[in-house]
Structure 1
Amino acid sequence: MKKLPLLLIWSRVAFAAIVITLSILKPSYFRTIIITLIALGLISDIFDGIIARKLNISTPKLRRLDSTIDQIFWLAVVTTAYIIDPVFFKDNILAIAIIIGLEAICYIVCFLKFRKEVATHALSSKVWTLVLFATLIQIIAVNHSIVLFNICLYLGIVTRLEIISIFLIIRNWTYDVPTVYHAVLIRKGKPIKRHKLFNG
């Protein structure tokens, strides 16, 4: 049972490889299969942390691995969407570049300051992940997204800026920092309350 969170985390690597392969080969019902696998990946992402906390095995090492695999999984999903609909990405290249650039800055700031990967698991980022999921599903399903994409863009900017702010505020690397407010409390040496299900 204690290996279940780890299995859920690594399952997303398998899903990542499969969805990219399907987007290239385009077999019958490939869009439906890809969307199903992405949904399963999202579910695994939600429950790996919940189960780990329930079993009291939510260690820094596990949370760092979770964050790294998340990046691999979502990069694969974005790549899949690009392969299926490259025109959408070319038409929105600037907006997409901004998000990717901010994501890269998050990792650069974290690594330069702490020599470790991003593992804040901020609550706003969890919301953004759901919006990103919906946006990519819409692109994959119908080769189109306007309202959802714009929401995803601006929410992505806000959440990436929040993560960068968290890194600039805290003195020592820590994982599962829900918000900037919690980062300020951590800097002051005060205890913070984390949600049992979603953040520690």
Structure 2
Amino acid sequence: MKPLFKVQDYNLAEWIPFLRLVSVPFVLVLIGLEIRLLVAFIYFVSFCTDALDGFVARTFRMETDRRGRLDSIADEFLLAAGVIGLYIFEPVFFAENSSWIFTVIGLYIFQLLFALIRYGTYSSFHTISARAATVVQAVFFMSMFFFGPQPWLFTAMIGLSLLDSLEEVALIARLPQWQAHVNGIFWLRKAQRAGNQEEIHH
């Protein structure tokens, strides 16, 4: 597994999520200064570049495990900054929905610790549910900074975030060793059944 922050070895597809990660302190400063429109613009750019690094990696054969880990970390830090922004800019909405917000945060921390104990690193499986949750999270926070929180988007974000964390926990429990790009628990079980059938035939 390549060192995560050995920046001199990065390819273009790895630099893009790294720069998204570096933007987080600036986002937090802007949230503290309550410059809401600029925060919204940075989230819009981050959302666009989140799709760009995957496209660059696939198109130019630059896909690496390190890019996947950087992408996941950048997403999570931007999500954390978004939660802080929600608390600062929309305190009433935050208070009304705090039980759901802290449930998602608590479950995420549990699966993070579970992965660190089991693998010594983030899970970063890039499951289909994780990718869907990331898109909805980005859309919710971008929309929230521009227009205020949309309840239906918030509900979708909470549901997908819970599904993603529960699936990550199940995958960590089933996989004795870390591996990249696991589509989800259904695909893992399907692959394991196919492997068992192949062993029986041999």
TM-score, with length taken from structure 2: 0.81
Cα deviation code 1:95-123 (max 9, x no counterpart): 00111111112212212222221211111
| 1:86 CA drift (Å) | 2.4
Name the one with the larger helix percent: 2
| 1:49 CA drift (Å) | 2.4
Amino acid at match of 2:131: K
Once residues 189 and 56 of structure 1 are traced to their aligned partners in structure 2, the CA distance between those partners, rounded to angstroms, is 28
Amino acid at match of 1:181: F
Q: 1:126 and 2:131 equivalent?
A: yes
**Structure 2 matches for 1:46-195, cutoff 5 A?**
46-187=51-192, 190=195
Match of 2:28 among 8, 15, 20: 20
Amino acid at match of 1:136: F
| RMSD value, Cα | 2.1
Larger Rg: 2
Amino acid at match of 2:14: L
Aligned partner of 2:12 in structure 1 is: 4
Aligned partner of 2:199 in structure 1 is: none
Once residues 33 and 56 of structure 2 are traced to their aligned partners in structure 1, the CA distance between those partners, rounded to angstroms, is 35
Once residues 91 and 117 of structure 2 are traced to their aligned partners in structure 1, the CA distance between those partners, rounded to angstroms, is 34
Rate the CA distance shift 1:138–1:50 in 2: closer, same or farther, 3 A. closer
Cα deviation code 1:6-50 (max 9, x no counterpart): 221122123322222222223xxx333221210111222222123
How many residues align structurally? 186
Rate the CA distance shift 1:189–1:174 in 2: closer, same or farther, 3 A. farther
Which ranges of structure 1 fall in alignment gaps of 5 or more residues? 191-200
For the 8 Å contact 1:171–1:187, the answer to whether it is kept is no
Once residues 143 and 55 of structure 2 are traced to their aligned partners in structure 1, the CA distance between those partners, rounded to angstroms, is 27
For the 8 Å contact 1:169–1:184, the answer to whether it is kept is no
Once residues 68 and 157 of structure 2 are traced to their aligned partners in structure 1, the CA distance between those partners, rounded to angstroms, is 24
For the 8 Å contact 1:128–1:152, the answer to whether it is kept is yes
Match of 2:46 among 41, 47, 52: 41
Identity %: 22
Cα deviation code 1:65-100 (max 9, x no counterpart): 222222222212222232222222122111001111
Once residues 130 and 65 of structure 1 are traced to their aligned partners in structure 2, the CA distance between those partners, rounded to angstroms, is 16
Larger mean CA deviation between 151-160 and 96-105 belongs to 151-160
